[in-house]
Amino acid sequence: MPSPPDPTKSYLPAEDAYLDLLVETLESLERPARGQFLQRFLRTLAQIDLNETQSLDLWEQILIRRRELTESLGKPVSLKTAMVAVLASSNLLRVPILMEYEELKKLQINAATDPLTGLYNRRLFEEYFDKELNRARRYNQSLALVIMDLHRFKEVNDRHGHQQGDLVLQAAASTLRKSLRTSDYAFRIGGDEFALLLPQSDPEQAGALSRRVRSVYESAIQPMQLTVSLGLDYGLAVYPQDGDQKEVLIRVADERLYQSKDANRVAPGRAAPEAPPQPSAAPPAPATATAGAKEAAAKAGAAAPPPDERRKWERVSLTGTRAYALLGEAPEKTARVLDLGYGGVALQTDSPEELAVSFHAVLHVPILPPVRVSLRRIYQQGGQGTATRVGCSFVS
């Protein structure tokens, strides 16, 4: 009595079953015989004329491409599909007789995009990065790379499950698509890691876009009512300022991403390090910061004031970094930035008498683009040698 059919077994179309049988048969042939058969087979099937050695090499590429597509798509790919992919990429597919055009386009889309988010995948990131970097070199243009990941994403999976984790990843992808220009590219290059390529973007433009993406994303996930303070961290690198090779730019962006993650640990709802001790003679700056000043403090990793009044005046020390400020409108006048808080900034200068009561400054803080702020002098305190500490508040 015949066995009942296995409902889990997928039956291939006749042409696919024939090609699979062909693979098995060719493996049993000697190399010369196999080459002769493939030479005639490819001429008949795709109307291409190759010698026996070229036919054998092309066949091996087809088998390798089939394995790659099967792994990337997570499901079996027919030999016919792999043949079209190899022939098309080699400019050998003169007569598309193996499959319909729409089927070929679907294959190309599936091979290039991430199935969960719909963004381009890592393979296309590598390809587009090379192409855009070559274009930037040729036309002497800038190119910004931004690498982003989701802060505390693992905790979302642990507390809310992987289905909710998929939703926050999809929300990140949707935010990127809405925020980018038509000339920009967004990719999912890892589990919770994304990359942006921004042609003709300088550090200030790339930084502004990244902050906007982060803000829009935080608004997008609020309705999910997560118990984890989820957010987007980012690091950016710009050609040619930060390097002229792809590997260098990726390394710089990665390093700045992790520096940003460290700085953001003082953001609300995250584990904050101990605030550095402040001189007792330094009075707190009043919390009269404008939106722009608040943004400046947030950029340097300073916490927005939580309900607890004791934390309102926490300041992030920038001593030991290269942080500095350009004072007023004269570019030659500078001061060191000692620390930065929600309400103000502390500067160190040898000529405090040259500072007006109210003045403009451009803050240069590591990792971040320059920030223009309006300041008011609040106090002055002598330091080592002739250096003087000047406390300033952000004002409108």
Phi, psi of 94 (to 5 degrees): -75, -35
Q: One-letter amino acid identity for 306?
A: P
Question: Which of 234-243, 311-320, 340-349, 374-383 has the highest average model confidence (pLDDT)?
Answer: 234-243
291-394, CATH topology level: Thrombin, subunit H (2.40.10)
Q: Has residue 95 got a pLDDT over 60? A: no
Confidence band of 330 (pLDDT split at 50, 70, 90): low
Q: Has residue 165 got a pLDDT over 60? A: yes
- 3-class DSSP string for the chain: CCCCCCCCCCCCCHHHHHHHHHHHHHHCCCHHHHHHHHHHHHHHHHCCCCCHHHHHHHHHHHHHHHHHHHHHHCCCCCHHHHHHHHHHHCCCCCCCCCCCHHHHHHHHHHHHECCCCCCECHHHHHHHHHHHHHHHHHHCCCEEEEEEEEECHHHHHHHHCHHHHHHHHHHHHHHHHHHCCCCCEEEECCCCEEEEEEECCCHHHHHHHHHHHHHHHHHHHHHHCCCCCCEEEEEEEEECCCCCCHHHHHHHHHHHHHHHHHHHHHCCCCCCCCCCCCCCCCCCCCCCCCHHHHHHHHHCCCCCCCCCHHHCCCEEECCCCCCEEEECCCCCCEEEEEEEECCEEEEEECCHHHCCCEEEEEEECCCCCCEEEEEEEEEEEECCCCCEEEEEEECC
Q: Has residue 81 got a pLDDT over 60? A: yes
Q: Has residue 339 got a pLDDT over 70? A: yes
- What is the pLDDT at residue 299? 45
Confidence band of 148 (pLDDT split at 50, 70, 90): very high
- What is the pLDDT at residue 18? 62
Question: Across residues 149-177, what is the average pLDDT?
Answer: 90
| Within this chain, domains 122-266 and 291-394 share the same CATH topology | no
The class that CATH gives domain 122-266 is alpha beta
Tracing tokens 């087979």 back to the chain, one arrives at 41
Q: Has residue 14 got a pLDDT over 90? A: no
Nearest to 242 by CA among 259, 233, 255: 255
Domain spans, the chain:
14-112, 122-266, 291-394
Q: Has residue 22 got a pLDDT over 90? A: no
Identify the residue with better confidence: 195 or 153: 195
Question: Across residues 342-368, what is the average pLDDT?
Answer: 83
Q: Has residue 324 got a pLDDT over 90? A: no
Question: Which of 66-70, 104-108, 129-133 has the highest average model confidence (pLDDT)?
Answer: 129-133
When the pLDDT of each residue in the chain is averaged and rounded to a whole number, the result is 77
- What is the pLDDT at residue 291? 45
- What is the pLDDT at residue 254? 92
Q: Has residue 245 got a pLDDT over 90? A: yes
Question: Across residues 301-309, what is the average pLDDT?
Answer: 40
Confidence band of 236 (pLDDT split at 50, 70, 90): very high
Q: Has residue 129 got a pLDDT over 90? A: yes
Confidence band of 91 (pLDDT split at 50, 70, 90): confident
Q: Has residue 8 got a pLDDT over 60? A: no
Q: What percent of the chain has pLDDT over 90?
A: 23
Confidence band of 77 (pLDDT split at 50, 70, 90): confident
Least reliable range by pLDDT among 164-173, 274-283, 302-311, 377-386: 274-283
- What is the pLDDT at residue 20? 73
Identify the residue with better confidence: 268 or 47: 47
Question: Which of 162-171, 329-338, 370-379 has the highest average model confidence (pLDDT)?
Answer: 162-171
